[in-house]
Amino acid sequence: MQGSAPGPGLFPFDKFSSTPWIIDGVRDDAATDTARGDLSRRLFLVPRTQVVGLATSGGRVTGIDLVTAGTRTTLPVPASCAVILAAGTIENTRLALTSLGLGDTRFGAPRLGNLIGHLHSNITVRIRRAAFGLPAAADSLETTAFLVRGSASGRRFHLQVSAAAVGGSDPERNMWQQVPDIDTLDHIRANQDPDWIVVVFRGIGEMGPGTALSPDPARSWIDLSPETDQFGAQRAYVNLVATGDDMTLWTRMDQATFTLAAALSGNDPKNIEYLDRRTNTWQATAPVPDAGGGGSWRDGLGSTHHEAGPLAMGTPGTSVTDSAGRFHHLTNAYVAGPALFPALGSANPSLTALSLARRTAQAIVTERTLTPPPGLTPLSLAPGDWTMIAAPGTNPAMRRLGQILETAGSYGLYSYHAQQFADATIWIEWRELAAGDNSGIYLRIPDPTAPDALHQADVNGHEIQIDDLGAGNPAGLDIHRTGAIYGLQAASSFPAHPAGQWNSYLIETRGTTIRVTLNGTLVNDYTSNRATTGFLALQVHSGTIQYRNLRATTTP
């Protein structure tokens, strides 16, 4: 928000927008590894881009239709990806209507109900300082605020009350607007009224919820307009109306406000005056409500940004999304924001929306986190528990990105020297960042500090290979490809995920037997004549492989 003269030059937009958080997150992520650039990035902000639709197939979102810098394109969505609609209540609903097959079609266009907002009133009075027991003003600057909660007809409302000893009718300017310099502060002090305290009662009431899936034509709803935007997409058509019950609450809230204002004045008419918003003048008598119980102090419906509800969460058949914000009929599409609310209450919805967004994020992480068998213990990632064995003239490294280990350079083995493994169960998650990236998990290797340790690891240990292309495979064999025990036995199948997606290895060693399970499928069952005990190591070979969630247990 930006003001204009003679008002303040800038209303800080970070008070209302999540944009600064996103920008900070992108910058922090980009700074993790400036040498490798986008390869190490986990968060991107795409500028000059409009989402115009979503493609779905087989119960999930498979593509995002975009216009970027004037060029239309479709971004494919991998099966493991989650898509979160976080573009505000109206735009989220428009996308759901145009792309996701939602909405009651009895009305000629897909329609979703349960659009809810807030009932707003702004009643301003001024009360004599003497009624508060205050002395006449000198040059002090006084501003205060508090909150009053109430209910009527089973609904909630609250009053945001702000007061200041200022001339004019706007005490909030000292509270919410910037004071650019000391001269302006002196000007505000010079314009204080020695006799009056101006009090603003901002009333916020709860609209009653409706039904999202079977919208009532007499209530609020969103459908699609015949009008299209500059990208050729249908615009949303918004119908926001107050029901009879809403009007009853609104009237009761306003009545409570006038009663409170009079009580603050000591119920003495000589101590209070009321602002007529139409003429911006003070009057000695309280405004008379119109036939509908309201007056000029009421804001129009939809004049704020607290819309909520059309994509309400709940049980299937009565709602659009579940308690984690996921669309009932899609496995990978979610909503963040007040569009999820079945009911709104009277409070600002931002904190509730943020709390639900955290729950949605946790649900997405949980659903996409691989589950190791019970009873395994996380391996220490402390640098002191690991040793890098490097070949002469090479520069292997293992980067640390939080709880993720990432290979860099070549050639070497990053050996876990805190423990040896004989009969054991080992769980490791890994992913390639590009097809053909090469690494492996070494088992039962000799002492990593011994002379010729790399060669001894190759001839005495066992490498569980990671390389979807199987570089250097001998003719007719597949002993260099993912799932193989390198150079010894090929995998029986290849259920690896594409580059960029996480995979799991469950490795079981019992005597001379080594069993390898890739993403839940047994792919190797090998009988070895090599060492039956030794250390574990992660290979640094070529490309970039990431590891996480390293766990193990030894069998007595």
pLDDT digits (tens, 9 = 90+) for 376-414: 999 999 999 999 999 889 999 999 988 899 999 989 999
Is the predicted pLDDT of residue 349 greater than 80, yes or no?
A: yes
Question: pLDDT value at position 450?
Answer: 86
Give the residue, 65 or 13, on which the prediction is more confident.
Answer: 65
DSSP at 338: G
DSSP at 94: H
Sheet strands (E) in 69-213: 71-76, 83-85, 111-112, 118-128, 143-152, 155-164, 196-206
How sure is the predictor about 171, in pLDDT bands with cuts at 50, 70 and 90? low
Distance of CA 435 to the CA centre of its chain: 30
Phi, psi of 170 (to 5 degrees): -130, 80
How sure is the predictor about 178, in pLDDT bands with cuts at 50, 70 and 90? very low
Is the predicted pLDDT of residue 317 greater than 80, yes or no?
A: yes
Identify any residues that bridge with 225 across adjacent strands, giving them in sequence order: none
Give the residue, 525 or 142, on which the prediction is more confident.
Answer: 525
| Residue 467 contacts residue 436 (beta carbons within 8 Å) | yes
Which of 540, 531, 550 lies closest to 440 in space, CA to CA? 540
How sure is the predictor about 47, in pLDDT bands with cuts at 50, 70 and 90? confident
Identify any residues that bridge with 507 across adjacent strands, giving them in sequence order: 426, 516
Residue 65: Cβ within 10 Å count = 18
Domain ranges of the chain: 13-105+305-367, 118-208+242-283, 377-554
Question: pLDDT value at position 40?
Answer: 64
**Mean pLDDT of the residues in the chain:** 89
Question: pLDDT value at position 501?
Answer: 87
Write out the two tokens for 385: 């528990």
Quote the CA–CA distance of 219 and 114 in Å, as a whole number: 8
Question: pLDDT value at position 114?
Answer: 97
* Matching fold, domains 13-105+305-367 and 377-554: no
Q: Span 462-479, mean pLDDT?
A: 92
Q: Rounded to two decimals, what is the model's pTM?
A: 0.77
Residue 311: Cβ within 10 Å count = 28
Surface-to-core class of residue 43, CB atoms within 10 Å of its CB (0-12 exposed, 13-18 middle, 19+ buried): exposed
Which of 150, 149, 156 lies closest to 208 in space, CA to CA? 156
How sure is the predictor about 201, in pLDDT bands with cuts at 50, 70 and 90? very high
Question: pLDDT value at position 7?
Answer: 45
Question: pLDDT value at position 28?
Answer: 85
Q: Span 41-60, mean pLDDT?
A: 90
Quote the CA–CA distance of 143 and 166 in Å, as a whole number: 9
Please report, in angstroms and rounded to a whole number, the separation of the first and last CA atoms in the chain: 67
| CATH class belonging to 13-105+305-367 | alpha beta
Q: Span 60-86, mean pLDDT?
A: 93
- The residue whose two tokens read 């000007």 is 187
% the chain with pLDDT above 90: 68
Question: pLDDT value at position 14?
Answer: 43
Quote the CA–CA distance of 136 and 257 in Å, as a whole number: 26
Q: Span 270-289, mean pLDDT?
A: 92
Question: pLDDT value at position 175?
Answer: 57
195's enclosing H/E stretch is none
> What are the start-end ranges of the H helices in 134-277?
172-176, 182-190, 244-264
Question: pLDDT value at position 370?
Answer: 86
| Residue 324 contacts residue 359 (beta carbons within 8 Å) | yes
Question: pLDDT value at position 67?
Answer: 94
> Could you tell me if residue 47 is left (phi over 0), alpha (psi between -120 and 50 degrees) or otherwise beta?
beta
How sure is the predictor about 9, in pLDDT bands with cuts at 50, 70 and 90? very low
How sure is the predictor about 19, in pLDDT bands with cuts at 50, 70 and 90? confident
Q: Which residues contact 102 (CB under 8 A, 6 or more apart)?
A: 96, 110, 112, 320, 327
> Could you tell me if residue 252 is left (phi over 0), alpha (psi between -120 and 50 degrees) or otherwise beta?
alpha
Is the predicted pLDDT of residue 32 greater than 60, yes or no?
A: yes
Residue 280 one-letter amino acid: N
Residue 504: Cβ within 10 Å count = 17
How sure is the predictor about 133, in pLDDT bands with cuts at 50, 70 and 90? confident
% the chain with pLDDT above 70: 89
Beta strands 272-276; 281-283: pairing state: antiparallel
CA distances from 347 to 94, 118, 173 (A): 25, 9, 22
Is the predicted pLDDT of residue 10 greater than 60, yes or no?
A: no
How sure is the predictor about 23, in pLDDT bands with cuts at 50, 70 and 90? confident
Measured on CA atoms in the order 242, 247, 252, 255, is the torsion positive or negative? positive
Question: pLDDT value at position 173?
Answer: 60
Q: Looking at 145-154, 243-252, 505-514, which range is the least confident one?
A: 145-154
Give the residue, 187 or 282, on which the prediction is more confident.
Answer: 282
Question: pLDDT value at position 1?
Answer: 34
pLDDT digits (tens, 9 = 90+) for 101-128: 999 999 989 999 999 999 999 999 999 9
Measured on CA atoms in the order 490, 491, 493, 496, is the torsion positive or negative? negative
Identify any residues that bridge with 156 across adjacent strands, giving them in sequence order: 151
Write out the two tokens for 282: 């003070």
Q: Span 40-52, mean pLDDT?
A: 84
Give the residue, 403 or 463, on which the prediction is more confident.
Answer: 463
Question: pLDDT value at position 494?
Answer: 95
CATH architecture of 377-554: Sandwich (2.60)
Q: Span 145-161, mean pLDDT?
A: 91
User: Length of the chain in residues, anyone?
Assistant: 556
Phi, psi of 201 (to 5 degrees): -105, 110
